[in-house]
Amino acid sequence: MKLYKQHEQTNDLVNDFAFPHLMAMTKERLHSKAEIAEELGYRDMQIKVLREQLAKVTSERDTYKLALVEIESPIKNYATKS
């Protein structure tokens, strides 16, 4: 599977997202592929953790939604009978 160049290059991508990275890497003297790859790897690790946290929170939210439906259903049924 191809890892890079899976997108179309646009001015927004370059100006808003890529250029700040280019400037930061130049300022921080990250010039070798190994140094840049290490930074990308670190960010990938952070993204993985955030995605796992999001999945957990989403699952918990869905569990609470189901529990709320189970609680509301008898209340609505009782209210319609009265």
pLDDT in tens, 37-46: 999 999 999 9
Is this structure's pTM higher than 0.85? no
Mean pLDDT, range 3-20, rounded to an integer: 82
Residue 82 within any structural domain of the chain: yes
Q: What is the pLDDT of residue 82?
A: 61
**Per-residue pLDDT, 62:** 94
Count Cβ atoms below 10 Å from residue 28 Cβ, excluding itself: 10
Does residue 25 lie in a domain region? no
The answer to whether the Cα torsion of 19, 25, 26, 32 is positive or negative is negative
**Residue 43 located in a structural domain:** yes
* Residue 52: per-residue pLDDT: 98
In a domain, 53, yes or no: yes
Q: How many domains does the chain have?
A: 1
Any domain includes 1 = no
Is residue 19, in this structure, part of any structural domain at all?
Answer: no
Quick one: three-class SS letters along 61-75? HHHHHHHHHHHHHHH
- Domain residue limits at 81: 32-82
Cβ proximity of 27 and 18 under 8 Å: no
Residue/partner pairs of 30-33 with CB below 8 Å, 24 or more apart: none
